[in-house]
Amino acid sequence: MKGVGQVLTRAKGKRRGRGRRGLRTARMERIGAERIDLLVHEAKRRAREGEEALASKYIIRAKKIAMRLNLKTLGKYRGEFCKECMVPFVSASIFRARLHGKKKVITCLRCGNVHRRPIEIKNLDREK
């Protein structure tokens, strides 16, 4: 898909904006957030189609944008992909989910990384 593959390349070739470090304009944030959403969306689609390597590349790319712009956008996708190999958990061939006591154990079948998360009980066990 066009537009998705390329990361924010504006600064390429040119001297990286001096005195801009850590400072981001509202526009940069918006564009970055949009691109992250797009990349995650595309990554999930690819993963469903079996292109896991490509999918994780997209997630890594999204993460880099988030880190560069200091965005929290990726936070809403927490738990939706492997923290090790960045593959999105979209199909049963990628991950295995089991309940273990009060924990949800998600095993990535790609790299074997295990994620343990407390079972979410909505509206009941809210953080104060």
| Distance of closest approach, residue 108 Cβ to Zn ion, in angstroms | 3
> Should residue 113 be labelled a site residue for Zn ion when binding is judged by CB under 5 A?
yes
Task: Output the CA angle 52-56-58, nearest 5 degrees.
Answer: 120
Spatial separation of the C-alpha atoms in residues 52 and 23, rounded to whole Å: 34
Give the one residue of 33, 84, 91, 105 binding Zn ion; rule: CB under 5 A: 84
Spatial separation of the C-alpha atoms in residues 98 and 96, rounded to whole Å: 7
Structure tokens at 44: 């999930």
User: Of 42 and 52, which has the nearer Cβ to Zn ion?
Assistant: 52
> Should residue 47 be labelled a site residue for Zn ion when binding is judged by CB under 5 A?
no
Q: Quick check: 52 and 95 in contact, CB under 8 A?
A: no
Give the one residue of 69, 85, 90, 94 binding Zn ion; rule: CB under 5 A: 85
| Distance of closest approach, residue 116 Cβ to Zn ion, in angstroms | 14
By the criterion CB under 5 A, which residues form the site for Zn ion? Answer: 82, 84-85, 108, 110-111, 113
